[in-house]
Chain A
Amino acid sequence: MLAGRVGALVPGVEARRQLADPGLALAFLAGAFALAVFVLYPTVRVLAYPSLQDYLSIPHSVRWVQAARNSLLSAVLSTTTAVAVGLAFAFATTRPDVPGSRFFRAVALLPLFAPPFMVAFSYILLFGRQGLVTRHLLGLDVNIFGPHGLWLVQTVAFFPLAMLVIVGVLESISPSLEQAARNLGADDWQVTRTVTLALARPGIAGAALVVAISVLADFGNAVVIAGGWPLLATEAWFRMEGMADLRGASLVVAMLVVPTTALFLLERYWVGRKRYTTVTGRGGRLERPPTYPPLKWASFAVCGVTSILVLLVYLGVVAGAFTAVWGRDWSFTLDHWRLAADRTPSLWASLRVAAGAGAVTAVAGILLAFLAGRPLPLRRALDFLAVLPGALPGVFVGVGFVLAFNRPPLELVGTPWILILALAFWHLPLGYQAAAAQLQQIDRSIEEAASNLGARGLHLLRDVYLPLLSRAFVEGFTVSFVRAVTNVSIAVFLVSPGNVVATFAILNMIGNGIWGGAAALTTMLLLVTFAVLAGARLVVGRALRPAGVG
């Protein structure tokens, strides 16, 4: 015991002592090896693939400059609106006196469970030139394809991320501060402005960074609704799948990863620390004073309109699955379900791949969180690599895995493993953070007790932590599973014969204009997703939600 404490003061000694345990040393090697091979190596492969000449030629290529400019433009526009809407939702859901507060919270989480292209697809059905709403209800002639359509779609798709971040901050603001300001003579508007919004500012900044990463990385919506507008995320795929131009593809994703990594680091190391802590801590038991009415009704209006838009996403797809010929023949049909039933093998493939990815994410997450919590060498490097995938766009990971594993020593192209591992390690931060959060709750004294009884290294993990970590496993598994089952950005690069996943099949159907079948298959996929979430909720005892980069 005492030796352990003293050892901890001298990191070298302690590290050596830890690694002397063969089990722990083995686990450490396995964790480090997995991160090196499946996170670091693909990343380096992509960045090193284009020559210096290629990098230098970027400013001279009209197309790439334009794609970069468009990506930045859409990031600025969509982030602004998504954060504004997210703020309204966060405000409404943390104030019970805003009408419909709880309803809004439930609705706002819905877009997180949809495959990334679903919002775009549904809005084409509803608001396109043959849209149910635009043409048949309002008699308008609207072309939704293009940047403006993408802006709308990304706002709806990503505002929930902003909301989740801002809610966390708003909830920590003690009502007593607002009360105090009021007692000092501030009116409603002054309280809102100088207390509530002022304290929420870091939350808003953090939300903006998280949303901007997702918008930049958004592939599914962009490819469905803005196929004609050059963007970095879709450009990478056109290069690769259209022209087999690996070098161009890696150059484009390398361009994309610069801003996402910068935003990610900013979020993690700057905003993440710069929280305005309100001194009272958790003592916020006071009643929140009534919300400033104009603000209350403004947020109600924004949330109301957005909620309708969100519900329409789901309604549009479900309606599309039962409508004979969208835009022309509105009669009820089950034909599309027959077509979708022909594609059930792809649903099974999705389940297999996502289950594999979920298990790998959860196991690797727990192992790494355990290792990162001990005084081992390279601990910070492990921690950094475990969260790094959060900064990488899906298309980057897709290209990275093709480049890294289409040749020996690890030739995985054409096998299901390449897709499973890509998805598993892309979602690693989710499993890692879930496990780390659980580990922090485990009292150190339990470990010390076991340690005094003679348990060492891996025995500690197996006998003490694992039973306590089953919850972390289920969380990591579920979040990774849901995001894997709905993923397209990686799947388009890595599907293999016998493993054509459902999202890829759906994207193909949309591309071929088989909208009814695509809608039916999407509905099936949603049912599977919600079934898994419901199961996880039973096990964990609370709702889980998949948040993170698109």
Chain B
Amino acid sequence: MRRAWLLILGLLLVVPAGSGAGPAQRVVVLCSPNPAWCDAVKEEFPKATGIALDYVRLSSGEGLARLRAERRNPSFDVWFGGTGDPHMVAFEEGLTEAYRPRSWNDLRPELREAVGGKYIPLYAGILGWALNERVLRERNAPVPRTWKDLADPRYRGLVAYPNPNTSGTGYTMLATLVQLYGEQQAFELLKQIHRNVAEYTRSGAAPGQLTGRGEVAVGITFIHDAVDQVLKGFPISYGAPRDGTGYEIGGLSLVKGAPNRTAAVTFIEWALTPEAQRLGPERGQSYQIPSNSKTPIPPVAPRFEAFRVIKYDFLKYGSAAVRDRLVKRWTDEVFPLPK
């Protein structure tokens, strides 16, 4: 019996040891893009640098929440990917610090300017929707053309929309509508669309997948996520509203007080190289426009020229005050409405 107790004691000592130990150098990444991309990064970064990498996949809203909760004692070193607004809020709140990478001048100038140096642009992607035309036909609903079309009762139960509380994609749509129509009108429209929403998803990629499976007919998502579904052979098409659509500039940030700062800087420099950025389309099922102008644009990536993209005001709509107010208003006024 005494041996059993020693065993238990040993077990208790092993539990934390088994989880904390590792090679001398490691970097802990808060990873917000497609999990496949995170996996590829986890595999390739140690090969390139010899530094071990651990990541937790959290969508960008969740990521911001986690950084806030751990403000006094961050466990993450770098925040990789995810829509830009939460990166910007994190910077304003002093959760991340400005770091100017060596490859700064290679980054696409329009992206650099749009984010005002508050975080490092990693990629750009356009907001749109995935369409399942078979489901639309079955329900006798036409292909939607504008945001306002989505308010039509014929789309009842056919729309999937990421919850702006947890998804940067969801917030990008919210902010896009506000910039297109003004806040009052945008919320009226969102209330009408709400009645047609089958499911508010947690992540921004999920609506494209629900569309691919025919759970819904219209999935609001970044177009590159819809491209991913098309390439996987799902019977969907994609597009963007003709009344105008928004876009995201995915972020890369150095966490303030990072426990492994040197490794974190090495990671940031590596993540901006063309070799690392190619992992997105090649292995990460992610088809955005890479931020480094030397990285070849994936041939299937949706281009800005093909859609009517608004001049999205990242500095205003990425600010914590505006973001929190809009999301709170949506959460209080739209989300609880009966369907």
Q: Is A241 in contact with B35, judged by CB distance below 8 angstroms?
A: no
Minimal beta-carbon separation of A73 from chain B (angstroms): 13
When distances are taken between beta carbons in the complex, the residues of chain A under 8 Å from B16 are: 415-417
When distances are taken between beta carbons in the complex, the residues of chain A under 8 Å from B327 are: 242-243
Using a CB-CB cutoff of 8 Å, which residues 1-23 of chain B contact chain A? 1, 4-5, 8, 11-12, 15-16, 18-20, 22
Minimal beta-carbon separation of B132 from chain A (angstroms): 10
Q: Is A363 in contact with B8, judged by CB distance below 8 angstroms?
A: yes
Minimal beta-carbon separation of B324 from chain A (angstroms): 7
A524 within 8 A of B: no
B315 within 8 A of A: no
Minimal beta-carbon separation of A185 from chain B (angstroms): 55
B313 within 8 A of A: no
Using a CB-CB cutoff of 8 Å, which residues 205-222 of chain B contact chain A? 205-206, 208-210, 212-216
Q: Is A227 in contact with B200, judged by CB distance below 8 angstroms?
A: yes
Q: Is A145 in contact with B69, judged by CB distance below 8 angstroms?
A: no
When distances are taken between beta carbons in the complex, the residues of chain B under 8 Å from A509 are: 35
Give the nearest-CB partner of A355 in chain B: B11
Interface size on A, residues (CB 8 A): 64
Minimal beta-carbon separation of A411 from chain B (angstroms): 6
B176 within 8 A of A: no
Contact among B18, B62, B336 with A62 in the assembled complex (CB-CB below 8 Å): B336
Contact among B200, B215, B232, B233 with A130 in the assembled complex (CB-CB below 8 Å): B215
Q: A244-B68, A420-B15 are in contact. Are A514 and B35 (CB under 8 A)?
A: yes
Contact among A63, A129, A223, A499 with B214 in the assembled complex (CB-CB below 8 Å): A129
Minimal beta-carbon separation of B320 from chain A (angstroms): 10
Contact among B58, B199, B206 with A228 in the assembled complex (CB-CB below 8 Å): B199
B49 within 8 A of A: no
B87 within 8 A of A: no
When distances are taken between beta carbons in the complex, the residues of chain B under 8 Å from A242 are: 61-62, 65, 163, 165-166, 327
When distances are taken between beta carbons in the complex, the residues of chain B under 8 Å from A326 are: 213
Minimal beta-carbon separation of B77 from chain A (angstroms): 9
A363 to B7 Cα, complex, angstroms = 13
Using a CB-CB cutoff of 8 Å, which residues 144-189 of chain A contact chain B? 145-146
Q: Contact flags (1/0) for B316-339 with A, using CB distance below 8 Å? A: 000000001001100111011001
Q: A62-B332, A406-B70, A411-B73 are in contact. Are A513 and B163 (CB under 8 A)?
A: no
Q: Is B73 in contact with A230, judged by CB distance below 8 angstroms?
A: no
Give the nearest-CB partner of A226 in chain B: B199
Q: A227-B163, A406-B73, A497-B54 are in contact. Are A244 and B11 (CB under 8 A)?
A: no
A495 within 8 A of B: yes
Using a CB-CB cutoff of 8 Å, which residues 114-159 of chain B contact chain A? 138, 157
A542 within 8 A of B: no
For chain B, which range describes its interface: under 10, 10 to 19, 20 to 34, or 35 or more residues? 35 or more
A159 to B319 Cα, complex, angstroms = 48
Q: Is A143 in contact with B54, judged by CB distance below 8 angstroms?
A: no
Contact among B5, B28, B324 with A243 in the assembled complex (CB-CB below 8 Å): B324
Contact among A130, A227, A495 with B202 in the assembled complex (CB-CB below 8 Å): A227
Give the nearest-CB partner of A411 in chain B: B73
Minimal beta-carbon separation of A289 from chain B (angstroms): 48
B55 within 8 A of A: yes
B234 within 8 A of A: yes
B112 within 8 A of A: no
A238 within 8 A of B: yes
B291 within 8 A of A: no
Give the nearest-CB partner of B73 in chain A: A411
Using a CB-CB cutoff of 8 Å, which residues 505-534 of chain A contact chain B? 508-509, 511-514
Q: A230-B336, A241-B62, A241-B166 are in contact. Are A513 and B69 (CB under 8 A)?
A: no
Q: A228-B199, A244-B69 are in contact. Are A352 and B18 (CB under 8 A)?
A: yes
Minimal beta-carbon separation of A187 from chain B (angstroms): 49
When distances are taken between beta carbons in the complex, the residues of chain A under 8 Å from B332 are: 61-63
Q: Is B35 in contact with A500, judged by CB distance below 8 angstroms?
A: no
Minimal beta-carbon separation of B307 from chain A (angstroms): 24
Q: A63-B335, A228-B200, A356-B12 are in contact. Are A512 and B34 (CB under 8 A)?
A: yes
Give the nearest-CB partner of B324 in chain A: A243
B64 within 8 A of A: yes
Q: A352-B15, A514-B35 are in contact. Are A243 and B328 (CB under 8 A)?
A: yes
B197 within 8 A of A: yes
Minimal beta-carbon separation of A452 from chain B (angstroms): 22
A223 to B331 Cα, complex, angstroms = 16
A511 to B65 Cα, complex, angstroms = 18
Using a CB-CB cutoff of 8 Å, which residues 263-317 of chain B contact chain A? none
When distances are taken between beta carbons in the complex, the residues of chain B under 8 Å from A496 are: 56, 75
Minimal beta-carbon separation of B121 from chain A (angstroms): 23
When distances are taken between beta carbons in the complex, the residues of chain B under 8 Å from A495 are: 56
A509 to B35 Cα, complex, angstroms = 8
A227 to B198 Cα, complex, angstroms = 10
A238 to B65 Cα, complex, angstroms = 10
Contact among A63, A227, A498 with B336 in the assembled complex (CB-CB below 8 Å): A63
Q: Is A512 in contact with B206, judged by CB distance below 8 angstroms?
A: yes
Pick the most buried of B19, B61, B213, B235: most chain A CB atoms within 10 A of its CB.
B19
Q: Contact flags (1/0) for A343-381 with B, using CB distance below 8 Å? A: 000000100110110011001000000000000000000
Give the nearest-CB partner of A239 in chain B: B165
B203 within 8 A of A: yes
Q: Is A497 in contact with B76, judged by CB distance below 8 angstroms?
A: yes
Contact among A141, A327, A414, A417 with B73 in the assembled complex (CB-CB below 8 Å): A414
When distances are taken between beta carbons in the complex, the residues of chain A under 8 Å from B69 are: 240, 244, 246, 402, 406, 413
17 residue pairs from A and B, CB less than 8 Å apart = A129-B214, A129-B215, A228-B198, A228-B339, A238-B165, A241-B66, A243-B61, A328-B234, A352-B15, A353-B15, A402-B69, A411-B72, A415-B20, A497-B54, A497-B55, A508-B57, A512-B203
Given contact pairs A327-B213, A355-B11, enumerate 20 new A-B contacts (beta carbons under 8 Å).
Answer: A129-B214, A146-B339, A223-B202, A228-B163, A228-B198, A238-B166, A242-B62, A243-B65, A325-B213, A349-B19, A352-B19, A353-B15, A356-B12, A359-B8, A402-B69, A406-B73, A417-B16, A497-B55, A497-B75, A514-B35
Closest 8 CB pairs of A and B: A513-B209, A242-B165, A414-B75, A244-B65, A244-B68, A356-B15, A511-B202, A228-B200
